[in-house]
Structure formats: structure tokens, C-alpha cells
Amino acid sequence: MTARLPATMTICFLLFAPLQLSGSEPVRGQDVPATVVRHLFLDPAILKSNTGATLAVNSPEQREIVIRADQPWEQLMISLFLTVRDEGDKLRMWYVCRDLRNRPNLAYAESNDGINWTKPNLGIVEYEGSTENNLVGVHSLEGVVFRDPQATDSNEAYLYLTTIHGKGLVRFTSPDGLRWRQHDPVLLPFSLDTQNVTFWDERLGCYVLYLRGWTKGEQWQDRLRNVKRITVKDLTKPFVLASSGNQNASSSKGRATHLRDEVKTIFAADEQDPPNCDVYNMSTQPYPLDPRWYVAFPSFLLREKSMVDGRLEMHFAGSRDGITWHRYDRRPYAKPGLTGTENANMVFMGTGLVIRDQEIWQYGVGLHTRHGNMKARYEKTDGTIYRYVQRIDGFVSLDFPNEGGSCQTVPIRVDGNSLVFNVDTGALGQIQVGLLDEDGQPIPGFSIDDCLPLRTNALAAEVQWRGKPNLKAWHGKELQLEIRGARSKLYSFYFK
């Protein structure tokens, strides 16, 4: 069931033209075109009718550990948040670490293959009398590094918005992602104590920020964490956002007030989640293969002994507009491992989707401690970074049960001569598809019974009908798809 929450204020307009994001990460993929209109099942409204089929979240495969804490400045932990950017010739990662004095630092690593990562001696920051380290000189953990396509000054090519204790949200810029400069003024005078996400949205023509918010509780410990969204044109001037006067008083002296109802909530735990459940943060980004879609990986913390104690898992959410989010069957996207393992109690997913061949690579942090258990981290260093592998378009699938099911889509524009399915039928399943006209009637020669059954596991399986070579005659028209399947998963489709 979809949780529909109020939308935040926005001064930008949606443009649903297929395009590649300006300044976004390179898109690489064998037989995975980046310019087609991809029809995913991220918005359930694509289905006009449905009998038996279900929308299912598909977890990625957890692969190898790519980074461990092995330096003095990482001795307490590799912390919760990270960013990965694909810059073509190499992958770049910024991650947060803490030393035994609990001093946070933003650290840097890079890789040519996404599996073997190095921590280069950058010679930028002095740590305990030496500059032989991979630190970049930022001591706040609450941001996302990205290349700003709107930057007119080469010294400000990279951007990092983060919270400074006692002040609020500020801007850092860098010419190379390594040497950073903090700017005045404070953009938002609120305490946003988690990884807040910022990116330039080409469709909207503005910056989009996903920020930590809170509910108002009778007592400090009764508050619940949630997610707010702000859009702005300019990141050099303070945001026009007045305090509502309804903030909770912070239990930590010197902190700015918290964001409550100055901005409407766009994502939060609801009545279908366990009581006392927080949305801790929300790694949100446009989908690189078709930025008409937004994907997010919200972390859910079930508070147990206190508001800072509990275990944490990642979920998946998809959206058409970045405001209304769908959660589908609410299965965990990535969850803690077995007791005693290095990710036994918490997992976080960083921002950045790397497209390689037939896969999407993601990177996340696993922790063996519970949230807030600093004592255990002093006893044993915590935090490892994993690589996760997802199928192209694989976040959500339309699943057909063993006994079979069927559905019809809303009218969809035919913008190619052939129809391609990203599908997995296993060995025992199959899928067929028919075309329906504007009155919902089967088109002769293209009915579901004319369709040759698909029995395959492929990213780009071309649908064929008996005696009909292509869809040229229907190019530019809107048709409905009638889909029938059994023991199968349909991830997406497009015309080419």
C-alpha cells in the first residue's frame, strides 16, 4: 500500500521528456540504451487493471567488502554515510570515519574496477603530525559530494552541503573533490544531523535537497525522524525559510533548532510500520538510465531502549516526481547479517549508482554495533563498506505467481518499431503480451494469443507476434499492453 504524504513547496515545474542529466555520472551498459523512455513499475499507476500479479521489491546481491577500517583516523569506526561517483576512468568514493577521540573526517578512496579500492596519500591534511593520509579536510559527516553542472567557477566544480554544529547547513566547494573551502553564509539555521542529500535536477532546473526533519513530541524522546524536501535555484544565499516556533528543544547544548513543520514531510514511517520506527535518512537520486524516475533507499531505525538505540535496515522507494513515494511490498532492500558478522546490526546505502554492463553497483556501510552503542566501538573498531549488485531496472518487478496472472497497462505511446522486455521467467515460467487499441480491443495479429511466449532471463528480450515483423504501423500512437504470465518477473519494458 502506498503512503501518500503532503508535498513540499516547490518553485520548479516537471518536464517529462526523456533526457540524460547534464553533469550526471556516465552511463555504461551493454545493450542498455540511456536515451529510451523506460517503463518501470516504480509508479503503480502504470497498471490499469491487475489480476494475480504483484509488485515486489528485489534485494541486490551483497558482494565483497571493498573497504575496511585500517588507519589510525578510522580506528573508532567507518561511519554511516558515503558517496560514490563514476567519473569514467575511475570510481571515486568519499566516506566518513572517526578516530579514537571520536573526531570525524571525510576520507577519500578510488578504484578502477569497483572492487579493488585504494586510499591514496593525498598530502592535504595533517593528522597527528603527518600529511600521509587520505583525508580531505572536512570534519562534518552530513552531506553528499557531487559535481555541480551549474558551477561557473572551476574552483567550485564539486559541492558538499553539510551541517556545522551550532550553525546549520553550510556550503563547501572544491576544484577536484579533494581540496575544500567552506563558504558563508549559513544556508539553513537548523540542525540536520544525518546524511542530507543534494543534487542538481535537470528536469526541474533547480537544486533538490532531502533533509532530516522531526515530529513534535510531548517529550524530547517522543520525537520521530522523517524526511523533508526543499528546492532552490541558488546555493549561495540563505534559503527563505522562517522558523515556525514549534521546534523541539535540543538535548544537546549548542545545537541549532531542528526542522519540524517549516517544510512539509514527504517521507515518514506510517501505520503499517512498527511503532517507534524512524526514517533515519533517505539516499535519493534520479535514476541514471532514465532520470524521469527517482529512486531512494530510506533507512528505517526501530528504536528500542531509547531514541538512539536500535537496529537499522534499508528499504526501497520509487517516485515519478520526487515527492510522492511508493513502497510496494515493503520488503527490506538490504538488511543486517547474521549475529556476529560485520554487518550484524545496521546497514546504510550510500548515494551513487554505477552502471556496468548488465549490472547496477551500489556501495553501503555495514556495522556490527547497534545504533548509539559507542562503548562497543571503543572495544572493537566498527564499519565496513560493501559492494552490492542489482540487475538493470531490477529494483521493483511485476511478479506473476505459479498459477498465473494478468494485467493491463494504461495507454502508452509507441515510440519504436519493436517492444523489448527486461524479464526473468526461469526455466518453467513464461510471459506473453498483446496490444489493445484505444477502445481496449485486441489489435488483430498483435493479440496476446498471437504472441510467441517469452521463456528467458534477459535484459532486452524482443517480443514477437506470429507473422508480424514490427510495430512500425503503430508508431506514435498510444496503446495498452495486456500482459499474461506465470512463474515470472517483469522488471521493465521499452520500445526501440
Q: In what helix (H) or strand (E) does residue 412 lie, and over which residues does it extend?
A: strand 412-413
Tens digit of pLDDT for each residue in 386-436? 999 999 999 999 999 999 999 999 999 999 999 999 999 999 999 999 999
Same domain, 305 and 265: yes
Of 357, 391, 425, the one marking the end of a domain is: 391
Of 370, 391, 412, the one marking the end of a domain is: 391
Residues linked to residue 65 through DSSP beta bridges, in sequence order:
386
Q: Is residue 7 part of a domain?
A: no
Q: Is residue 471 part of a domain?
A: yes
Same domain, 74 and 126: yes
Of 337, 358, 391, the one marking the end of a domain is: 391
Grid cell locating 174: 572544491
Look at residue 191 in the predicted model and tell me its pLDDT.
85
> What value does the CA radius of gyration of the chain take, rounded to a whole number of Å?
24
Domain count of the fold of the chain: 2
CB under 8 Å to 267, separation ≥6 — which residues? 3, 5, 226, 227, 279, 282, 296, 298, 317, 325
Which CATH number do you get for residue 489? 2.60.120
Q: Is residue 205 part of a domain?
A: yes
Same domain, 387 and 406: no
Look at residue 247 in the predicted model and tell me its pLDDT.
52
In this prediction, the residues of the chain whose per-residue pLDDT falls under 50 are 1-30, 248-251
SS3 of the chain: helix, strand, coil, percent, to 5: 5, 45, 55
Q: Is residue 149 part of a domain?
A: yes
DSSP state of 64: E
Look at residue 11 in the predicted model and tell me its pLDDT.
31
CA dihedral 170, 171, 177, 181 (to 10 degrees): -90
Q: Is residue 277 part of a domain?
A: yes
Residues 193, 79: Cα–Cα separation, whole Å: 13
- The three-state secondary structure class of 155 is helix
Q: Is residue 32 part of a domain?
A: no
Which CATH number do you get for residue 159? 2.115.10.20
Q: Is residue 403 part of a domain?
A: yes
Same domain, 53 and 65: no
CB under 8 Å to 190, separation ≥6 — which residues? 168, 169, 211, 256, 257, 258, 259, 262
Tens digit of pLDDT for each residue in 308-365? 999 999 999 999 999 999 999 999 999 999 999 999 999 999 999 999 989 999 999 9
- The three-state secondary structure class of 100 is coil
Same domain, 411 and 483: yes
* Extended strands (E) in 144-255: 145-147, 158-164, 168-174, 181-188, 197-201, 206-214, 225-232
Same domain, 150 and 265: yes
Same domain, 235 and 340: yes
Q: Give me the phi and psi of 473, to 5 degrees please.
A: -65, -20
CB 120 within 8 A of CB 131: no
Q: Is residue 402 part of a domain?
A: yes
Same domain, 324 and 467: no
Domain range for 401 is: 39-58+397-495
Same domain, 105 and 54: no
CB 83 within 8 A of CB 145: yes
Same domain, 49 and 98: no
Same domain, 224 and 191: yes
- The three-state secondary structure class of 341 is coil
Same domain, 383 and 475: no
